[in-house]
Structure 1
């Protein structure tokens, strides 16, 4: 049976990409691979989500509308998901916004990472044929830690954990404080300043560049690579955005290969040099694994921290009473960082595929079925968090959020993000206690990663 695709590229109808009989699609011209990837992974899911949203499907509404949703509006969708049961059957997959169920799915060996299982048949052949022959990597592409399972995941994580230890992160605190001090000293106090551009992005990019052993002169390139990597977590990208993302990842791939070879020849005192040299029973990470790890450190350790800082600044200015509490109790800055992560997390959701027939909260789930865990929704589960929609820097269980995921794929950069958030927020508000946000704030257009693209502010006189 033929597929029903009707889009055209270069005069070639997509229907010709499958055949009622005969072999796989490998005889097709190579230039069609990229548009085919886009159709399968973005155009069709976006079309289906839009139609589902028009019918009132909660998952469709979330996929299509999340770009423009405020944190509270995301919370309202989560309330509807929970009201339908611990596990909600959406158009595309099961969904859950229950924190205990989210943790169950993310920790269970019955599930593996991924959002799409092509299975067998003509669509599967088409999907495999359309894969990038240059094996361009992304945060969701193997051998990234986000996209692998045991035994490979166990080996990668064991080596990476040896380098990115809590002690190693804590050793970066003094340097992070120095970077934050330098940045706040350099901010323009004479007029409005975009905090995302001048502070929220500059602090983590400087820290992550030093972790990766990137020379100071290359930091603007790293910023550009981060901007390219962030949308790669999304589905429903437009054709132009998709091409920019793939081009950016391709450039980053080549840059990293050269950079890592340089670290192998002339290692520094940075964490990435240590990872290049790390071995377990005489076996280390090969170049592709090292590039995937470095790319993940950038995407997960930089882009999400930019969002954490921007989201937290907006929350604190929207709740001046909480800033007053922090001025009276500066020991609460770490807890305030976790509360900001809970209320407006940098990552909206993640998905898991059932590796075998199983059950979730008493609901049968067939092998190959997707379960979407709504991290931002679980963070507002009223059965776990009292008055869950309230932003409260004194909340005793603020740290119980799942913004860093859970289980074996719990974020390796969680300690780093928490430390940077605490240092970055405290330093900014200590130096500029009269900081006021100005009109013109703009949230990012990515669906999975949530944060601010622009956050204008007047700083006032420094303290």
Structure 2
């Protein structure tokens, strides 16, 4: 059974230890062992990504069986050639799901046919058009007051916790919840608690993109099953709010004129809900943490016109929440000088492409207003480029500016200078942004 994507952290998915050996030793891709789930890679992936890019830009990882593609030019080529590189595996589970887990999902009626990220068929364009109507420039601009209002409400609570206890975690109380509440308002979703949606979304990420142990897999599968059943009931509700995302899906017709089936509509909702809340929450968390870590940036972000937006763009380039994405070769191809057979499973190292020195000068430096900052591939490129890119950028910039204004005198707690890190195959972010005064 295959599944989709898009963090409730499991022990196997979280890195809290000190970094491992320097991967730039005498045999960085062999004797020392590259492990994309390992603590060393999760904590500091850049030396590994640099080594891959310079020494083995198309490298078969013996642990996962995936071909790691790390140069900007090769990743862009793959994303722009959907005929040769199919998206079919984009939402498959990273590790095979054992029979007990498959039974839990089957009892919940879980299935996700091609809809958006994993859809290479002719139905993709129409479904994508439905989604983009809810995230186009006009809607995002109109949503700014909504984002600001929700941010202020959440910051009221964070400020109260700071006053009462001396510290507050801006990840759990702010970065995670803000995009979920915004998404619910924009898509016309109600009748469910935001914290529940976050928990379902994060469980889906961990089950399909992580390497949890069997006991944890069963716990996650139960939550994913609940999520899928709620989505199915929501899509099938004949009383869907007029003008809502669900109502738009219910009215959508496939290329052959048939109405969109419930399973595909659920698959579209599954992807949009997870991408719109979990990955955006991860982006906000990284944006806040990096801003608090950069000397002098936090007070400037509160009032300097355009700085919050420029900072978000640099975070997306250097430390994006979506670190990798997958493709499968439709035929034999030559990529980066390596002959790949049909059916080769590729892992596009999006995070590494943003630090490619052939494209970005001094890539290790965070440089707001970098001239070519938006050339990064963190939202993809081509027909599968993230339809919610504009909303994610806007939410992260508003979140940074609002937090810097409301909490001008905060700093990271000593413990959260190096917080635990979400370390899934395609997702990475701090799991705490603890602040104090």
TM-score bucket of the superposed structures, by smaller chain? 0.7 to 0.9
1:64 to 37, 49, 61: 37
The structure with the larger Rg is: 1
Secondary structure of the 2:380 match is coil
Map of 2:359 onto structure 1: 384
Provide Cα deviations, 1:215-269, integer angstroms capped at 9, x if missing partner: 265222212212212213414321122212221111111111222233x324244
- In 2, distance between residues paired with 1:75 and 1:216? 42
Cα displacement string for residues 311-330 of structure 1 (whole angstroms, at most 9, x for unaligned residues): 11111111123345545632
The verdict on how the C-alpha distance between 1:305 and 1:116 changes in structure 2, with shifts beyond 3 A counting, is closer
Give the equivalent residue in structure 2 for 1:397.
372
- Find the aligned partners of 2:277 and 2:253 in 1 and give their Cα distance: 26
Preserved CA contact (<8 Å) 1:159 1:280: no
Distance in 2 (CA, whole Å) between partners of 1:67 and 1:195 is 25
Per-residue deviation, 1:192: 0.7
Query: Is structure 2 residue 205 aligned with structure 1 residue 234?
Result: no
Name the SS of the counterpart of 1:359 in structure 2: strand
Equivalent-residue separation in structure 2 for 1:61 and 1:114 (angstroms): 26
The answer to whether the aligner puts 1:276 opposite 2:250 as a matched pair is: yes
1:448 corresponds in structure 2 to 426
Match of 1:310 in 2: 285
The structure 2 residue matched to 1:83, chosen from 37, 49, 54, is: 54
Q: Distance in 2 between matches of 1:105 and 1:432?
A: 43
Q: In 2 relative to 1, CA 167–328 (structure 1 residues): closer, same or farther, beyond 3 Å?
A: closer
Mapping 1:44-63, distance limit 5 Å: 57=29, 61-63=34-36
More helix by share: 1
Match of 1:287 in 2: 262
Task: Give structure 1 stretches of 5+ with no counterpart.
Answer: 1-32, 35-52, 119-123
- Most deviating of 79-88 and 414-423: 79-88
Q: Which has the higher contact order (CA 8 A, sep 6+)?
A: 2
3-state SS of paired residue (2:37): helix
- Work out which of the residue numbers 189, 196, 199 in structure 2 matches 1:224: 199
Q: Contact (CA 8 Å) 1:350, 1:373: kept in 2 or not? A: yes
1:146 counterpart residue number = 117
Equivalences for 1:165-244 in 2 at 5 Å? 165-187=136-158, 188-190=161-163, 191-215=166-190, 218-244=193-219
Find the aligned partners of 2:187 and 2:302 in 1 and give their Cα distance. 34
**In structure 2, what is the equivalent of residue 95 of structure 1?**
68
Return the match for 1:161 from 132, 136, 159: 132
Aligned residues: 395
Is residue 88–residue 96 contact of structure 1 (8 Å, CA) maintained in 2? yes
Structure 2 distance, partners of 1:300, 1:279, is: 24
The one-character-per-residue Cα deviations of 1:335-371 (angstroms, maximum 9, x if unpaired) are 2111111221112211211101112133322101122
Unaligned runs of 5+ in 2: 3-22
- Cα RMSD (Å) of the superposition? 3.0
Task: Tell me if the contact between 2:116 and 2:127 (Cα under 8 Å) persists in the aligned partners.
Answer: yes
Residue of structure 1 aligned with 2:224, choices 226, 229, 249: 249
Q: 1:25 is matched with which residue?
A: none
- Once the 2 structures are TM-superposed, how far is the Cα of residue 177 of structure 1 from its aligned partner? 1.3
Deviations 1:145-172 (A, max 9, x none): 1212122323322333344333223222
Matches within 5 A, 1:416-435: 416-435=391-410
Of the structure 1 ranges 440-449 and 311-320, higher mean CA displacement relative to structure 2 is found in: 440-449
Q: How does 1:8-27 map to 2 (within 5 A)?
A: none
Separation in structure 2 between the aligned mates of residue 163 and residue 137 of structure 1, nearest angstrom? 26
Shift of 1:274: 3.1
Alignment of 1:113 with 2:87, yes or no, is yes
**Structure-1 separation of matches of 2:106 and 2:157:** 45
The equivalent residue for 2:346 is: 371
Secondary structure at the counterpart of residue 306 of structure 2: helix
Deviates more, 1:401-410 or 1:415-424: 401-410
Distance 2:308 2:217 in 1: 38
- The verdict on how the C-alpha distance between 1:192 and 1:117 changes in structure 2, with shifts beyond 3 A counting, is closer
Q: Using the alignment, how far apart are the partners of 1:361 and 1:390 within structure 2?
A: 27
Partner of 1:348: 323
Partner of 2:9: none
Map of 1:45 onto structure 2? none
- Structure 1 residue 107: Cα displacement: 1.7
CA contact (8 A) 1:357 1:366 kept: yes
Deviations 1:81-107 (A, max 9, x none): 012144334432332221111111122
Aligned match of 1:260 in 214, 226, 235?
Answer: 235
